[in-house]
Amino acid sequence: MSPDDFVIVWQQYPAIWAGFLNTVTLLVFAGSTSLVLGIVLVPMLMSKKAVIHRSIGFYCECMRCVPFLLLVYLIYFGLPTFGIQLSNWVAGFIALIIYNSAYMAIILRAAWRDIPNETIEAGKAFGLHGSKLLIRIVMPLMLMRSTPVIGNQMTQILKDSAFLGIIAVSELTAVMNAIQATHFIPFASFLSAVLLYWLICLVIEFVTLIFIRYAEVRRA
Amino acid sequence: MTAYDYWSIVQGSFTTVGVSLIGILLGVPLGLGLALLRWARIPFIRQVCYLYVSIVRSCPAVTLILLIYFGLPQFGLSLDPLAAALIALSLTAAAFSCEIWRSSLLAFDRQQYDAALAFGMPAWLRVWRIVLPQVWQSSLPGLVNEMTMLIKSSPAIAVIGLVEITRAAQRVGARTYDPLPPLMFGMCLYLVIIFVLVRAQRRLERKPAGQEVRV
């Protein structure tokens, strides 16, 4: 291993850039979609009807107990049994979204339970109820309180996306694996991948920090 | 699927649990060491620890395992897949448990440490007799949670050829041309393993506070 290895790796920057963009696309698209789905699922998790919160709760617990790669296999290799054939990209996106919506819902539920009862009762006293109470009082508080944990989950989505290389989605790890296989420079190429992932994580942390600041200002 | 197929997936679960367990047994003390180094506020080492934790925590399990398995032989360190997987998992566990230890160290009442100092205890004895017993209690649930996280990221070791639950299930599926039943069976195994761990974690969290008051 010599420093020249890194030069060889970075001479492939069009491929690396493409893989990097794919990873970021997976992260942004799957992350935002699962956050939205999580927001939709939370009222069902907190529903008073046992059938609804039991079934959604069961789905969330299942996702919590299953490794991501197994879900990817179930969707990519298992669904064709029922005649549903998905391309690797679609399967990857669906797996990321199904898996992480459950986590988002669990995170948001914890934040909802943390909201002091007085605030919600004050909202009711002002005549808000049903969806209006949810949108005006519960949702903003819930989202602001759970910002740091949502940021953490985004990191988790980024890390999960590396598994998609196994079903031939050309994300960062898969691209680096291809480079390492062609030029026999595994250490330099995977270390570059690790550093690029770190870079993305730092950006996620930075964005989360901005949201946390905003939340602190709003609460003051 | 034959009985042997089921058995091969169950054997995979031994690998999954075994590798994760050894990973955490090696990683937790390492993480404690890192956390204590950060807690001690030694100028340069502290930044190095922070950098290590930050990078490893953001690194996907697959990438780390590929880096170790394919990268280290370039330095003359040839590893078999099992050793590479163990190193990768314990490095991850060290980084994550460092954060857990650190948060309970931050919550630790520093006055007690100072009191022990007033009694003239040497540094290692202060950590061993005063800090550790209390920090251990408060970080145990987090460490069990870390174990479930490790089990969930363990399918990454399949990329270097180790046969754990996911890979065993996929192999059976590839042979029988019917991937759904083995994958579902694998999923049930994971459900059982993680359910047990989550139960253990809840029990630990429920443990009544106040034990530390005992004089």
Q: Which of B199, B208, B169 is nearest to B187 (CA)?
A: B169
Please give the Cα distance from A216 to A208 (Å, whole number).
12
Chain A contact for B161 (CB, 8 A cutoff): no
pLDDT of residue B41: 80
Domain extent listing, chain B: 3-204
ipTM for this prediction: 0.87
What confidence tens digit (pLDDT) does each residue in B79-97 have? 899 999 999 999 999 999 9
- Multiple choice CATH, B3-204, 1.10.3720.10, 3.20.20.70, 3.40.50.2300, 3.30.465.10: 1.10.3720.10
Domain total of chain A: 1
What lies within 8 Å, CB to CB, of A59 at 6+ separation is A102
Tokens 């919600």 correspond to A120
Q: Which of A45, A56, A135, A129 is nearest to A98 (CA)?
A: A56
Average pLDDT over every residue of B11-34: 93
* CB atoms A77 and B183 under 8 Å: yes
Least confident of A73-82, B30-39, B127-136: B127-136
* CB atoms A74 and B180 under 8 Å: yes
What lies within 8 Å, CB to CB, of A102 at 6+ separation is A38, A41, A59, A60, A62, A63, A64
Domain carrying residue A87: 4-219
Chain A contact for B173 (CB, 8 A cutoff): yes
Chain A contact for B168 (CB, 8 A cutoff): no
pLDDT in tens, chain A (220 residues): 678 888 888 888 899 999 999 999 999 999 999 999 999 999 999 888 889 999 999 999 889 889 999 999 999 998 988 888 899 999 999 999 999 999 999 999 999 998 888 888 888 898 888 888 888 888 888 999 899 999 999 999 999 999 999 998 999 999 999 998 888 888 999 999 999 999 999 999 999 999 999 988 887 4
What CATH number has the domain bearing residue A119?
A: 1.10.3720.10
Closest by Cβ to B186, choosing from A70, A159, A176: A70
In chain A, residues with a C-beta closer than 8 Å to the C-beta of B179 are 73, 77-78, 81
